[in-house]
Amino acid sequence: MEAISHAGTVMGVLAKDGVVLAAEKKVTGKLLDLSIAKEGGYGGSGEKIFLLNNNVVAGVAGLTADANSLINYARQAAQRHLFSFNEDIPVEQLAQRLCDLKQGYTQYGGLRPFGVSLLYAGYDPHYQFQLYHSDPSGNYSGWKATCIGANNGTAQSLLKQEYKDGLSTEEAIALTIKIMSKTMDSTTLSSEKLEFSTLTLDPTTKQPLAKIYKPAEIDALLAKHGIEKKEDDVAMAS
């Protein structure tokens, strides 16, 4: 729990036609070699936001090593479901799977629990777009917009003020960037500090389409929404 409150912020916002997930990266440095991550098949640097299945992306906050193990478990669980039922795993069921595992470690002695909170952004035909949060104890809950990690209190109160029902994905992206820029420790928002993803429906096939933004795409997105250092300062001054 302690680790989670220091971890990079992860924020999720549910829209009527999609879900948005953004995460703040903590570990950066000039010497960190990201050359492989930049070419990665799914984009992103693979530090905070992961693709769990065709229809679910997750953002993690907490101990990275624990998170990697949980991500791997989730991916296998999703594929096992696809294998047995020939359908993408419903989002809630995937969250449940992970929570069953996490709860197990709170019950049996000798082992420590997973120090990880997750946000799940997903789609299934039963309940359309969904956003779930799970904590290390194995509790999970559904949200319209929520936040985990450092400064989650500030972000949540901002979300509470600014969230409106029936947002479009575009509006949700704008809202996410706006609040992330206010709550993140650093003053500059850039692809070095941010991971970003959306989950929408492919307009032609109507199948879920997960997009984890590549660094260049994040910078382009930030520029589009006018979040640059100078403007931020102006906003604060006014």
The number of CA neighbours under 13 Å toward the Cβ of 200 is: 15
76 touches other proteins by CB under 8 A = yes
Taking the least distance from each CB to other proteins, the nearer of 78 and 147 is 78
Question: d(Cα 80, Cα 86) in Å, to the nearest integer?
Answer: 9
108-127: which residues touch other proteins (CB under 8 A)? Answer: 125-126
DSSP structure class, residue 149: S
- Find the binder of other proteins among 17, 68, 92, 105 (CB under 8 A): 92
- Integer-rounded Cα Rg, in Å, for the chain is 17
73 binds other proteins, rule: CB under 8 A: no
- Minimum distance, C-beta of residue 84 to other proteins, in the bound complex (Å): 6
79 binds other proteins (CB under 8 A): yes
Contact 137, 24 (CB under 8 A): no
> By CB under 8 A, is residue 84 in contact with other proteins?
yes
Q: Which of 40, 104, 153, 226 binds other proteins (CB under 8 A)?
A: 40
Angle at 49 between CA 45 and CA 55, to 5 degrees: 125
Residues touching other proteins, count (CB under 8 A): 20
Paired tokens of 205: 């096939």
Residue 87 CB, shortest distance to other proteins, in Å, is: 5
Residue 126: left if φ>0, alpha if ψ -120 to 50, beta else—which one? Answer: alpha
Q: Please tell me whether residue 97 adopts helix, strand or coil conformation.
A: helix
157 touches other proteins (CB under 8 A): no
Residue 46 near other proteins by CB under 8 A? yes
For other proteins, the binding residues (CB under 8 A) are 40-42, 46, 51, 75-76, 79-80, 82-87, 90, 92-93, 125-126
